[in-house]
A and B are shown apart, each in its own frame.
Chain A
Amino acid sequence: MRRRLGIGFWLAVGWIGVVLLAALLADLLPLYRYDETLAGPPQTGPSWEHPLGTDGLGRDVLSRIVYGARVSLGVGVGAVLLGLLIGAPLGILAGYRRRAADAIIMAVNDVALAFPALVFALAVVAFAGASLRNVLIVLAVLGVPAWVRLVRGATLSFAEREFVLAARVLGTRDRRILWREIVPNVAMPAASYAFIGMAVVVVAEGSLAFLGLSVQAPTPTWGGLINEGRTLMETAPHVVLVPSVVMFLTVLSFNLVGDRLRALTDVRESGLEPVRQVTVSPMPVAEHQVRDTLLQAEDVRTHFVTPRGLVKAVDGVSFTLERGRTLAIVGESGSGKSMLIRSILGLLPGSAVRGGKVYLSGEDLTARTPAEMRSVLGPRLGTVFQDPMTALNPVRTIGTQVTEPLRVHLGLGRKEARAEAVRLLASVGIPDPVRMLGRYPHQLSGGMRQRVTIAMALSCGPDVLFADEPTTALDVTIQDQVLRLLHRLREEHHMAVVLVSHDLSVVARWADEVIVMYAGKVVERGPAAEVFRRPRMPYTQALLQAAPRLSDPVHHRLREIPGRPPDLVDLPPGCSFRPRCAYARDRCGQEAPPLVNGSGHQYACWYPRPIETAIAEGAESSGR
């Protein structure tokens, strides 16, 4: 907690605490009276007797600052709490009840927000008299619309979460749902906003006081002190500087605390959250031979330095790929399959440390800078990702997005690019491609969007197409269409395809070769039919038996893999799969098994499943 909030946060909290305490305990502190004139010689600088000097009337500035804090902070905290007290229930009501309550509250709120706030404050204070109470109420009321809006937004976002629905299904009454399910979740963003609000109110009160519209003299307020000191700027600058600095630090502290609290609610906890970059010495690459092949990955490693420790997301993966072949990379979440292809493409977050080599037709891609990679991504390496919506720009038409790579990479003119785009869209099975050019991504279905991203990936005629879970977000009938399309395009363009998927049945049907990953390492690889028919590594075998198949009988008991995937920060010694493996023995806990070669079908296991039982138990698994 402490580390995530940072030292600045605690300094800010400390400052607010000191000022607050001083204001509360002002009467007990050994201070001069704030209104005692000629407590010392007027306009003198800091001295032992008067640590912050004296003002024009010889009053002690420290004392006046401390008593001024009573007004400034009192108004700041008081107005925010009062605004919260009025605004939060309205916001929760609007966000939770919706419909009429929401419409009325928000309509009134919008009108209130349209009021020129400071003018309103000036008018009210001028009319009703400048007293602490009036200033506080005016500033509180001015803050209400913003509170309503914030709390309503937060409530809305939680009221639609499934845990609220679950509470209603349990039969929980509305009031209890509000208090137990919604309020605790809204509290954090509200607390963050409260601090920022306090900063705003302290400044607002300062402005009013500066204009003489806050608490009247002799009661000091920070804004008032600055105003008084103004005339002494040349003879005794400390009189104006000190309250200014105090106010500045206080406002800064409130904002800082508010900001950090908000960051705390925004950041999702995850072991992979990159926090700071630590320079790690480059990883050595084992001796290897650059082969005459389209794509060669040699000992690819991707590590992340996280606050919890070193995460080896990809740990030594090698493969080669020829034209006209599909290589599938399968594994469960956290196995490193997506990180592997991002690593190959050089699309990693800044906190990643990359090792190993990637060769495209014998040329080392890892030696290229990100700028140099750009000329390869697109023209030679095409990419299709899981969520087509994130790959497409929502505010640009399909036409501009498909023609852009054609014009940039291939240098086509506007007309040619357009004609080529139409041809491409037609080739991925989009009906009426000319009309499609003028449409926006949100107007298309998920399947159509994925077809568009495939068309874009193909636009510059890549040698290798990387498809990362290309159909996971799609319906099953659409999924089949898209996979057929990818397969057909591979033939037509004579490309190689790298298909990343968690779905074994998809892989079994469309891949030539398969790599099974677990905890960042390759645990089994080989020709797809071979691996699925005769899995040797217990994990592959268990994974195949864990997936339900249509050919299984009803109520068929699936194979359960006990436990869960390992924590990448804290991998077990030896084989990573050992804790979940039914066949593990002593050796598995001591030495990590290497990938052993056996007629193109390799597996990393000390005690591989015998071929006969593998056939018996896993026979139907490939089921082409």
Chain B
Amino acid sequence: MIRIKCPFCGERDHSEFSYGGDATVEYPALDASVEEWNKAVYQRANPRGPHREYWHHLNGCRSWLIVERDTLTHEVGTAEFAHPGLTEALK
């Protein structure tokens, strides 16, 4: 069972979280072209090894986190708030 160190709640079982997809995708502006949106939504890498991905602490503090996970070994590294201002605000 993957264990994730939520920066707000501490280390928790993955059953408290839901997977939220690739965190390296940069979503274009809402008024961007079909091509740009097509690239963001459909043209995804499927990396083998270290990866950054979103996890939602659904049954916890409900933070969206960026978690480092190795797709090959399931080794979980850092977890930080996806919201860029939150880490600072909680200091």
A binds B: no
